[in-house]
Structure 1
Amino acid sequence: MTDQRLAHVFVELADTLVDEFDAVDFLSTLVERSIELLDADAAGVILRGARGTLHVVAVSSERVEVLELFEVQNEEGPCLDCLTGGEPVVNVDLVEAQARWPRFTRVAEQLGFTSTHALPLRLRETNLGAMNLFQTRRTPLSSDDLLIGQALADIATIGLLQERAVRESALLAHQLQSALSSRVSIEQAKGVLLAREQMPVESGFELMRSYSRRGRLPMRQVAQRVIDGELTAEDLRL
């Protein structure tokens, strides 16, 4: 990894720090770039909603979504510990963590993962959520890797909060709820594409995301048009 590539990633994420941005797309970019820069195999982001409920908002694959949902539903795993303590949980060998997270480690190993990390999305006393990183190899993150990973998580936190949200809790709640509502619409649209056109859910998401970016449209709007039958897979490819 070159310094030039690292700088490009930070600029790419910082470019979204405006009054209006697509939170799901932003967090999906965070997940993708974290995998690239930290040599992970998969990643996901869990956010805490306005009432404290945890939600899976961005994932790198369907198997990660399964694992993250399992973690939330069973209240057990690295992200939960990271959220509770507000500190990174890193370089955890899943074999050694069986006593710590028995149900989580069983499912994680079934999905092919051997180690995990969790980094907090935190600013001062505000803890929005956490990002999980998963590896199929037992390759520990170095101190430099952890600095980069936490810096990426910090940019994501700032992007979600925005300066006004630090001062106004109502804006924070609205921003997070918008991201969670977008996620629901996107999941419905992925299901529509699967049922209507037998398109794998991951392919459907990437098509909608590409269409959103080309047309400068919010992901939620694109997803709703898919649900309403206004956009087909062929339309999304144009």
Structure 2
Amino acid sequence: MTWRGSGSGALLDIHGHSEAALARALVRIAAAEVSDLAGSPVEGTVTLVRPDGTPCTVAPAEGTGVELSRWDQRTGTGPTARALGGRLSVVLNHRCPDPRWPEYVGNLTAAGFRSAVAVPLRLERGYSAALTFYSATANMFAPDLGCKVLVFSGVAAKSLRLALKHRADLAVSAEHRASLASRTAIDTACGVIMGQNQCSYETALQILTQVSKQRNLKVREVAEDLLRAMPGGVPAAYFKARG
């Protein structure tokens, strides 16, 4: 989509097979949109911290911006780290260097940038994230553009929240389907054993479990091996949509 800073219901169209891919899709759109608003090229990164605490910093392409954001997050001495804590940070190099991070300002200049801004992306489910922009122009993120970046960050955060939730929901659905498929094979194999041995379901399951330990296989794998030898083979698991 093309975002122009209006409409509280706006969403960014981001897709990806992993958390890193979702973050990269987001920052690709974000960098293009903020560059358009700024009227000059702006580089962007997204730093996503997962619920287990592992960070992931991505950009449309590897470069000095990614390296700077990773250093910032790792050392905790820069605007990206501050934004991950939920606070807005602006660095206006040369005109107004930030006295809190002299090493960061030096690294910013060495990377070829003269301005940076990092904004928090408010997520859920234990995630935190920061959207960081870099410019080679001094004082780029003055109040006018800075306010637009803040508004854009709200759209970006909402879009990333929904994308992460959708990915998590798909993973849960896949786990449920795998569980049902496993249960179908085991129950059917138990039925075969019950018929062959005239035993109860519990006894048939114990037989499958014992064989799985002897062969160092999962119970489902033993059940499927048994069913493959049958005329009908391994039964399919059926999923009924809920109305």
TM range (shorter): 0.5 to 0.7
Alpha-carbon distance in 2 for matches of 1:153, 1:93: 24
2:164 is aligned to: 160
1:77-119: per-residue Cα shift (whole Å, max 9, x none)? 11111112x13324x2033344111111111111111111112
> Are the structure 2 counterparts of residues 73 and 145 from structure 1 closer, same or farther at C-alpha, using a change threshold of 3 Å?
closer
Question: In the TM superposition, what are the counterparts of 1:89-168 in structure 2 within 5 Å?
Answer: 89-90=89-90, 92-95=91-94, 96-123=96-123, 126-137=126-137, 138-140=139-141, 141-162=145-166
1:54 is aligned to: 55
Q: Which segment drifts farther, 28-37 or 136-145?
A: 136-145
1:35 is aligned to: 31
Alpha-carbon distance in 1 for matches of 2:87, 2:74: 21
Question: Which protein is richer in helix relative to its size?
Answer: 1
2:99 alignment partner, SS class? coil
Structure 2 stretches lacking a partner, 5+ long: 5-9, 36-40, 176-243
> Are the structure 2 counterparts of residues 61 and 151 from structure 1 closer, same or farther at C-alpha, using a change threshold of 3 Å?
same
Q: CA deviation at 1:164?
A: 5.9
Alpha-carbon distance in 2 for matches of 1:93, 1:34: 20
1:140-164: per-residue Cα shift (whole Å, max 9, x none)? 2242342123312331133224496
Alpha-carbon distance in 2 for matches of 1:139, 1:68: 18
Q: Which segment drifts farther, 38-47 or 105-114?
A: 38-47
Q: CA deviation at 1:125?
A: 8.4
> Are the structure 2 counterparts of residues 59 and 11 from structure 1 closer, same or farther at C-alpha, using a change threshold of 3 Å?
closer
Alpha-carbon distance in 1 for matches of 2:88, 2:125: 15
AA partner of residue 73 (structure 2): V
1:236 is aligned to: none
**Does residue 70 of structure 1 match 2:40?**
no
1:210-232: per-residue Cα shift (whole Å, max 9, x none)? xxxxxxxxxxxxxxxxxxxxxxx
Q: CA deviation at 1:12?
A: 2.3
> Are the structure 2 counterparts of residues 159 and 65 from structure 1 closer, same or farther at C-alpha, using a change threshold of 3 Å?
same
> Are the structure 2 counterparts of residues 47 and 25 from structure 1 closer, same or farther at C-alpha, using a change threshold of 3 Å?
closer
Determine if contact 2:122/2:129 at 8 Å carries over to the other structure: yes
Alpha-carbon distance in 1 for matches of 2:50, 2:124: 18
RMSD: 3.0
Number of residue-to-residue matches in the alignment: 156
Alpha-carbon distance in 1 for matches of 2:130, 2:12: 21
Determine if contact 1:44/1:64 at 8 Å carries over to the other structure: yes
AA partner of residue 21 (structure 1): H
Determine if contact 2:118/2:131 at 8 Å carries over to the other structure: yes
Alpha-carbon distance in 2 for matches of 1:59, 1:22: 15
1:6 is aligned to: 3
Q: CA deviation at 1:66?
A: 1.6
Determine if contact 2:115/2:134 at 8 Å carries over to the other structure: yes
Alpha-carbon distance in 1 for matches of 2:53, 2:89: 21
2:118 alignment partner, SS class? strand
TM-score by length of 2: 0.54
Alpha-carbon distance in 1 for matches of 2:107, 2:149: 26
1:184 is aligned to: none
TM-score by length of 1: 0.55
The structure, 1 or 2, with the larger RCO (C-alpha pairs under 8 Å, 6+ apart) is 1
